[in-house]
Amino acid sequence: MVKLEDVERQSTGNSSRPIGTIQSIAAGFDKIAAQPLLLIPSVLLDLFLWFGPKLTIPSVFEELAKYLITPVGAEEALVEQLRTSFIELGGRVNLFSVISSFPVGISTLMAGRRPIESPLGEPTVVQVANPFLIILLLAVLLLIGQAVGAQFHRLIARQWAPREDVLEEWRASTRAIALASLVFGMAFLVIFGFSLIAVLVSLIMPLFGLMVAFLGFSFMLWAIVYLIFTPHGIIRYKLGVIRAMIESATLVRWNVLPVVGYLGLAYALTYLTNLVWILPHENSWFSLLAIVGHAFVSATLLAGSYAFYQDRRAWLFTLQGAEAQTGIDN
């Protein structure tokens, strides 16, 4: 096990060798194990999504099911089963799950499980059919989720820095909301642009249309990777949204393999542990253990990402300063 004091010493920039992926996760584990109260936000949100009321939109899925394209030669029974499954999904979708959404939301287990039962019986279900009301609810819940998620990020960041070095409460929430608005706005433009190009190209060459769609997906994926540390810069170093995005892209550009390694390992740990967390049935009290386990893993990975970002940022600034000094000397 990596000693926490060694990691913290590296995070001050006193070591020429930046912190690694395993060291970061180990440091995050130690921090969360020492401060189990940090699990409370994730646990409370999961409990709300499990026992609380549901905002569902089955009518939207029923309408979309009518437009599902039937593959050539497919059996009618198979197509009908697909439509039925799609409609059932609409009954499970809970709009409150948007509270845990990207980029600064709190990670939850029940947002992915979409439970419709609990040990206390079936919860209150409110069906929303009005499209304008659905859009309004999604926007409001997204803003709430980002504001609350920013406070959770502050709690994690304070494990690595004094309180005064972390962004203030209200500024953290407002900048998180601004970041989410910018990210989703850019995502909409990218998706709309690539989709339009893909449709136009498909009219001439269907295969190239699929290639355009794949390029759009690849672009979105790499954009996420390059901007993944934007919330860290905002919360930990009080950076503006644009400045934090630029610093995140710069840090990733200088540390592509370590960053991909950290994200890959974090995804693998999340995926493998989720295979265990989904074992209890949604109406079983054993799901409480799964909720706590998921909260611990997700908080550990988030805390580890702050250790990784802080140390890599200090290392990058030291490296850039040395290069600048070398240029002056020459």
- Contacts with 26 (C-beta within 8 Å, 6 or more apart), sequence order: 1, 2, 7, 304
User: And the tokens for 139?
Assistant: 């926007």
Q: Using one digit for the tens of pLDDT, what is the confidence trace for 94-105?
A: 999 999 988 998
pLDDT at 214 over 70: yes
Over residues 145-173, the mean pLDDT reads: 94
pLDDT at 251 over 70: yes
Task: Write down the pLDDT at residue 292.
Answer: 97
Task: Write down the pLDDT at residue 9.
Answer: 45
Task: Write down the pLDDT at residue 59.
Answer: 83
Q: Are 235 and 150 in contact (CB under 8 A)?
A: yes
pLDDT at 231 over 60: yes
pTM for this entry = 0.88
pLDDT at 18 over 90: no
DSSP 162-202: -GGGS--HHHHHHHHHHHHHHHHHHHHHHHHHHHHHHHHHH
Q: Using one digit for the tens of pLDDT, what is the confidence trace for 285-324?
A: 999 999 999 999 999 999 999 999 999 999 988 887 766 6
Over residues 191-219, the mean pLDDT reads: 85
Over residues 63-76, the mean pLDDT reads: 66
pLDDT at 227 over 50: yes
pLDDT at 228 over 60: yes
Task: Write down the pLDDT at residue 308.
Answer: 97
Give the C-alpha separation, 206 to 203, whole Å.
6
Nearest to 131 by CA among 55, 53, 60, 54: 60
Task: Write down the pLDDT at residue 2.
Answer: 42
pLDDT at 8 over 70: no
Over residues 70-99, the mean pLDDT reads: 76
Q: Name the pLDDT band for 212 (thresholds 50, 70, 90).
A: confident
Task: Write down the pLDDT at residue 4.
Answer: 42
Over residues 174-192, the mean pLDDT reads: 94
Task: Write down the pLDDT at residue 86.
Answer: 76
Q: Name the pLDDT band for 61 (thresholds 50, 70, 90).
A: confident
Q: Verify cis geometry, omega within 30 degrees of 0, for the bond prior to 103.
A: yes
